Structures are given as structure tokens and as C-alpha cells.
Amino acid sequence: MPGQAAPAFTLIDSEGAPRSLADFRGKIVVLEWTNEGCPYVQKHYSGAMQALQREAAEDGIVWLSVISSAPGTQGHVEGESARSWKTRTKANATHLLLDPTGQVGRAYGAKTTPDMRIIDREGRLVFVGGIDDKPTNDVADLQGATNFVRAALDDVMSDRPVRTAFATPYGCSVKYADEA
Amino acid sequence: MRRLFRLLILLTLILAPAGMAAAQTGPQRTDEIEAELVSMSRWATPGGTTVVAVRQKIEPGWHTYWRNPGDSGGPTTLQWTLPTGVKAGDIVWPLPERQRLQGLVNYGYEGAVYLPVPVEIPASARPGSTLPLRVKALFLVCSDEMCIPRELTLGLDLPIREGAAPQDAAHGAAIARILEQARRPAGITARATLENGVLTLSATGGPLAGGDPGPTYFFPFESGTIDHAGAQSGSWGPNGLTLVLTAGGKMAAGGLTGPVAGVLATSKGAFEITAQPGAPLPGATGSGALAPLDDAAPTPGASAPATGWIVFAQALVFALLGGLILNLMPCVFPILAMKAAALAASAHDARHARADGLAFLAGVLTTFIILAGALLGLRAAGEAVGWGFQLQSAPVTAGLALLMLAVALNLSGVFHIGGGLQGVGSGPLSRLPGGAGSFFTGALAVIVAAPCTAPFMAFALGAALLMPWPMALAVFLMLGLGLALPYVAISLTPRLLSKLPRPGAWMDRLKSLLAFPMYGAALWLAWVFSNQTGAEGLGLLFAAGLAGATGLWLVGAGQGERALGRRGVIHTIAGAALLLAMLGAATLAARAPVEAPSADAGTGELSSAPWSAQAVQTALSEGRPVLVNFTADWCVTCKINERTSLTTPGVKRAMEQSRAVYLIGDWTRRDDAITAELQRHGRSGVPLYLLYRPGQAGPEILPQLLTEGVVVEALKP
């Protein structure tokens, strides 16, 4: 929930290096749950998501894309396929993190792809939920949609309280592993 | 040459749309889903509203979504391309299934499902033509593994014809079932509170009152209202139920800022509710815990809501009570007069009295079965009829008026039935209602009295119409049993009968006196008839009545002649000829042209407007309360309520003070919109009184027996 402390985690990235949330203390962090095969993700990766990631990087914001798809499910990648993911999608995320057990996704309550989180410099969740207000998989709907992540990042950068701190997430279900 | 060219262009123009249309109608399919645009009825009428549906056949392992898809997914969307003047409404969403998937819960559909959409047809549509309806349907079809957006363009060429359309054989019943189950506001009041991430909903009134609602589940219209995967628990009380829900992300983050709307599915049916923020309602808890709903269980309310055995038993009891109370309703008085006369005659012959009582019972039950059978049959054929439909037909009213006149003349001693020679000689009362007579009286009682609904009957009838037909017939039989019970009980109790005074001259006088309620009934039916047809029709009916009365008098005179040993042939022939003349006049009367109903008929000084759903919305949007009176001229209870409780100065004052709008839905003649509205409130007949208050989701249903106090109290802000 917005306002709460962001749960700590360590995940292996596409290069095989461990990344902890603690590594980015003092920086604004965006978490993005993704799944390349999901039509909703494909809508945003038609260019809009990459552009948002680039703008964020220019502002010194850390962007972590998280894949919580379990092995054998849609979107699951590891090793080489994880490395080629970034090339294929032309993504500008800082790191691509792999969460095959779904532990981190569940800790953050991620339900759909895309599902977004923004963590402020103090390590608090300031935005939770859907990327915009057009819950469709139609690329044409990117036009005229209000992008809540962009707005929230503007607010955090200018030390304003985030106006829309929660938006209902939409999209495909995160392909979690069966709960043990 | 040029002419030929022009002809070719013309031909292309005519044929092109037809060719395009043919290419798009019928089922369209992808690997995961087959879809088709189908119609609920075989044709649509100009100026009417018809229902079409997007039929989906989803391959095993795949699903599509409800309006709120739950934790993921997206609803099916429709983009219509329609001929000028045709308007498509919103999807009437069938109740979804809950689909659990790795800790997430979605609301959606598997297998075969229909998405019904009401479509308004312009009055200018030409009977005999077809309207091409086209829709681009976007389905998000998902499996546990992946989601695929599928777009299919579906088409239906809807025939336009005059007259009520029968149901489409392939899809009509399935679509009608969805419409019956979906969206029933049903007078439920609901409140919502939010505390520490817990959303508490309380809902009372309407069908939720009185009894365990069984497993209950709330489907919110908006995602983020509740945690879809969270357990829903709660309890029920005398007036309704309380559900305790885990607030969803949006609710937890943004707080409770407005009403919470959704569908409350219970074993009593599914109801659309809008819970206003506010303190929990009284009586919505305390009687027991709501049964938990496990994942394997089908969504409550998804099966036909009224087929449960508990509802069936309840309907039977209410039907019996309703039938009993019907004896106290003004509609039955004339018939009771007939029965009283018969009872007085047979009181001191226990065997005779018993046979008489049983014959009456048989008459009542047979007629109930015939009427109910006709009603269920007509509805199965797609006709929008309700209880009392028999009196919506002018010829039936005319025939009944003449029949009542004949019965009254008989009670006045003008002629005798079945008496023959020996009858006239001995006491004139002894044979009037023999076995056949009693049976006939029972039949008459049902035809005239049953269209009036009594308290308790409304629920039973409403429930019966949603049940499979054997159950429905059982409910109707119980109604008949209730109606006949008092009389049957008396005739089967020799001790009670022996308390009645011995036959004598008093019986003659009683009989003559009891003729007058029958004359009254005849006059009342004539008045109903005049409202159904007009002054000209009424004139012809009066002529028929006079001819018939004279004829029957001649028949009586002939009977007298024969009793004295003479032939009396001429009188009998003259009587028969006049009876024929009466029949002819009655036929003419029934065919008399229908005049437009005069505005504001019979409502006293209270200014009123005709009912329409639109009128209700308009008044509510102006912030004014709305009192709706669904009535019919042949409904005596309605008329008495209007005289005693709806047109009094007190009510008028209360209406003015609250700036209420008074709307009248007149069901004297058949009106499918009113039939549908009655049904929406679980009723199948009049009277029905609805009070809408601005800002409240559903209307309050006022009792069927009104008093001035009840109305004034209800109108208080």
C-alpha cells in the first residue's frame, strides 16, 4: 500500500548479478512487473514504456523490470534468453530482475502485467498499481491516457505528495508458481 | 445504354449491402472462441425494444471476462454499427464465475455464455424489412498460461414485423433466463463502511428479509473495491445480511468516497445493489453466520433463483395464505354472494353439502390449472403476459359482464337452471347450484377474482413464474386451494351447517338480495369494458345486456308455462333467438374501435402522468421523489386503494410537500413494458406501488392494501 515501507529483496538480474533494493537507497526506484507475451504489456512496449524508461534514466531514477513468471509459464526467461529480452524489447530499464519463485512479486502484491510501484528516496512506496487510466490492450488507447507513473514521478521529483497514489492495476495475471 | 448502366448501378447498390451482410452473419470463430450475434425473439416490432445477444462458445481451458474482470484480464467490449435510429444499450452482464488462479481471482465465463444487449427499434422501421445489425466484439480470451485479444465482427439481419414475437427457438429461452436473473434491484437498501481496511456492506429489504440467504458473494462493479481473492464472510438477520470484505487497493488507498455498487449473489437470487456510505443497517445481522462459499461451489444465484426447495416450500405456503386472503379482497364479493346462496340451500343435507363443496373446489382448481397453463404456455412462447391477463381482453370482459348479468337474473328468480319441471314446482332454491352449478361457480370465482392479487400472493406468483412448470402448477393449485378452503371447510363440517337456520322464506329473500352484488359485478365489468374500448362499445354491450335479459326472462316464462303443464315452446324459441341476438351484439361490442384513453381517468384531483422508466429517471434527476401506481381498471383492490388512500386530501398535501411526482402505469390493456417492470420487482400482477427517493438505489415497495397513513408516512422525507 502507498505510504508503507517497501519490502526489502535481493534478486538475480539478467546478467547473473544479485541486486538488492538496499543498493539503491537514496534513489527513486520504479518497479515494473512485466511479461513479454502479455497483450497488455505489448501495448505499452509499442514504444511508450521504453520512452518512459529513458526519461526516468535521464532523471537518475532506477527502473527495475521484474519477471515473476514461474518456469514453464508465459514470460519466463533465464540466462541467455533474459539477456536477449532487453535487446528484443529495446527496453531502457536499469536492470531486468528474475523472480521465478514469485516471492518478491507476492511480497509487493503484484497481480498483473504491467503492475507498477514507485519507491521514494526514503524507501517508502509512494505509488502502487496500474500504469494508466485506460485498462485495455489496444495500442490506440495510449493516446489521451493519463499515465499515473509519469505523473507520480513528476510529483516525487519535485517533493510534492503523489496525487494519484493508487490506481487499479489491469492486464494479464502474473504467471506465479503454484503456492507451496 | 445509359439506362442500362444506371440500372446496373442501382442493382449494385441494392445488392451490395445484402451481400456484405450475408458474409458477416452466423458464427465467427478463432482457435479459442466462437461467437455469433443472435436474437431473443424471432422478430422485432417497430418502436419496440428487442434483445439481441453476443453468444460466446469458449474452448475448454479458456475464459473471457465479466465487466469487472477481477485481478487481471479485461471485459468484452462491443462496438456497434447500426442502421439509423437503431440504438443498442449496455450489456446485461450474466452473473460471472469466480476463477481462482495462483492466488488471484478473476470474474469471468467459461463454456457457453450469452451477453444480452437491449436494442431500440425506431418506430419508422418498416414491417417486412430486415435491419442489419453489426458489431465489432473485442474478446480478451485467456487461459491460465496466456491472454489473446480476439476481434470478431458479427452480424445479424433482424426481421421487422408487427405483433408480439415468439421466442427464438435456439437461443430465446437461454437469453430470457439471463435477463430474469440479472439486474434485479428489488427494493434492497444497502450501506457501506470502511474501517482499518475492512469494508462492511449491509443490505436489507426486499427478498433479503426473512430467512437465511445462503452462501453469499459480492461482485463489485469496480476493480480495486475489494480484494477479489479475499474470503467473504458475514452474517444474516431478520431484515437482511452483512458482508465483511477485505478492501481492495483503490478503496484502501483512497478511502470510501462514494457508493459501492455491484451484484450481490445469494441463494435467493442475484441483486444489483448500490451501498451508500453510512452506518450499518439495523436487522442485518444477529440470526446466524452466512454459509461460507468454497471455490468449488458454483456462484450463488447463478442457477435459476427460484427453484430451490426452500423457495418452493415458501411459495406454496404463501400461495395458500394468499388464496385464503383473496376471500377477503373486494374482487371476490360477488362470487361469495353466489356461494352464500348455495350454502344456505344445501346446509341441511350433509351429503349434498359435501358434494357441493367438493364440486366447487374442483371448479376452482381446474380453472386455476387452465389459467396457469395458459399463462405459462404464453410465456414460454415469448409473450409478455402477467397474472390477470384474461381480463386484459375486451371480448372476455364483455362476455363476463353478460354472464354476471345472467347469474344475477337467475338469483332474482327470472329463470332457473337445470331445474326442469320438478324444480319450479318445489322450492325454487334447491337446485340452483347442483354439482355442475358448484363447479361453474368455482370457475367463475377464479376468472373474476384471481386477477386481483392479495398480500402473500404476489411473492408466490412471482416465484412460480421463474420455476419449472410442474412446480409452478403446484403453486397455482395451492392458490386455488386457499381460495376454496373456507367454503369447502364449511361444507365439510356438518356441525357448523346444522347451526344454520332451516330453509324457509328467508332463503328466497336472501337470494334476491344476493343478486345485487352480481348486478354490481356486471356493471363493474361493463365499466372496465368501456375503458378498454370506448363509449360506442359500451353502448353495444348495453344493448346486448338488454337483449339477453329479455331473452332470459322469456326463457323463465317458458319454464313457468311448462311447470303449469303447457308447452311454452314459443317462449323458449323467442328466448333462444334473443340469446343469439345478445351473442351477436356482444361480438360487435368486443370489436368496437378502441378509443384513446382519456388522460387522468379515475384518479381524482391528484395530477398524474403515465409511467415510463424515463419519467422516473427524469423526476429523480430533478431531485423529486416518485410514487408509481401500477393499476388496472379490472383490479378492484387497485381502485379501492386509489379511492381510499391515494386521492385523499392528506395524501395530496403530503405529495405537494415532498414535491413528489405521481406516475400511473395502467395495465388495463396489455402493456409489455409494464409487465416487464412488474416482473423486475418479482410481481406478476397489479397492484404494485413503488416509491423512489432521490439518491436511493432502488424503490421502496409499499403494501398492496394501502391506507392514507401508510402513504403519508412513506412520503415523509
Asked if A171 lies within 8 A of B254 by C-beta distance, the reply is no
Sheet strands (E) in B591-712:
609-610, 626-631, 661-666, 688-692, 700-702
**Per-residue pLDDT at B294:** 64
A39: nearest CB among B71, B104, B148: B148
Q: How confident is the model at residue B599 (pLDDT cuts 50, 70, 90)?
A: very low
Regarding predicted confidence, which is higher, B389 or B23? Answer: B389
Asked if B254 lies within 8 A of A129 by C-beta distance, the reply is no
**Residue B83 Ramachandran class (φ > 0 left, ψ -120 to 50 alpha, else beta):** beta
Residue of A nearest to B67 (CA): A135
Asked if B72 lies within 8 A of A112 by C-beta distance, the reply is yes
**Per-residue pLDDT at B380:** 64
Q: How confident is the model at residue A51 (pLDDT cuts 50, 70, 90)?
A: very high
In tens, the pLDDT along B60-71 reads: 888 999 999 988
In tens, the pLDDT along B385-442 reads: 666 677 777 777 888 888 888 888 888 888 776 443 333 333 333 344 456 777 887 8
Q: Are B692 and B632 in contact (CB under 8 A)?
A: no
Q: How confident is the model at residue B279 (pLDDT cuts 50, 70, 90)?
A: confident
In tens, the pLDDT along B86-96 reads: 999 999 898 88
In tens, the pLDDT along B88-133 reads: 999 989 888 888 877 788 899 988 899 999 999 998 988 889 999 9
Look at residue B23 and tell me whether its pLDDT is greater than 60.
no
| DSSP label at residue A5 | B
B142: nearest CB among A128, A170, A172: A172
Instruction: Please classify residue B369 by burial: count the beta carbons closer than 10 Å to its beta carbon, then call 0-12 exposed, 13-18 middle and 19+ buried.
Output: middle
Rounded Cα distance between B335 and B564, Å, is 33
Asked if B71 lies within 8 A of A111 by C-beta distance, the reply is yes
A129 touches chain B (CB under 8 A): yes
All three cell numbers of B206 = 426486499
- φ, ψ of residue A161 to 5 degrees: the values are -65, 145
For chain B, how many residues are written?
717
Nearest to B53 by CA among B174, B148, B160, B208: B174
B44 beta partners: B160
Rounded Cα distance between B695 and B568, Å, is 74
In tens, the pLDDT along B562-597 reads: 777 777 677 777 778 777 877 777 777 666 555 544
Nearest to B686 by CA among B632, B606, B620: B632
Q: Mean pLDDT over all residues of chain A?
A: 91
Rounded Cα distance between B401 and B397, Å, is 6
Question: Which chain B residues are within 8 Å of A102, Cβ to Cβ?
Answer: 102
Residue of B nearest to A36 (CA): B146
Looking at B196-205, B263-272, B317-326, B409-418, which range is the least confident one? Answer: B409-418
All three cell numbers of B592 = 368496437
Rounded Cα distance between B404 and B446, Å, is 14
**Per-residue pLDDT at B381:** 61
How many other CB atoms are found less than 10 A from the CB of residue B382?
18
Q: How confident is the model at residue B296 (pLDDT cuts 50, 70, 90)?
A: low
How many other CB atoms are found less than 10 A from the CB of residue B246?
16
* H-type alpha helices, B53-171: none
**Per-residue pLDDT at B453:** 63
Nearest to A62 by CA among A90, A30, A14: A30
Nearest to B244 by CA among B172, B166, B182, B192: B192
Q: Mean pLDDT over all residues of chain B?
A: 79
Counting Cα atoms < 13 Å in the Cβ hemisphere of B589 gives 33
The predicted model gives A114-140 an average pLDDT of: 91
User: Amino acid identity, residue B530?
Assistant: S
Q: How confident is the model at residue A148 (pLDDT cuts 50, 70, 90)?
A: very high
**Per-residue pLDDT at A157:** 92
**Per-residue pLDDT at B185:** 59
How many other CB atoms are found less than 10 A from the CB of residue B77?
15
Distance from CA of B181 to the nearest CA of A (A): 28
In tens, the pLDDT along B652-688 reads: 888 888 888 889 988 887 777 788 788 777 777 788 8
Asked if A39 lies within 8 A of B147 by C-beta distance, the reply is yes
Asked if B104 lies within 8 A of A179 by C-beta distance, the reply is no
CA separation, residue B112 to residues B94, B373, B526 (Å):
12, 31, 52
Distance from CA of A46 to the nearest CA of B (A): 16
Cα-to-chain-centroid distance, residue B233: 34
The predicted model gives B258-273 an average pLDDT of: 87
Question: Which chain B residues are within 8 Å of A167, Cβ to Cβ?
Answer: 250
How many residue pairs bridge chain A and chain B with CB atoms within 8 Å of each other?
83
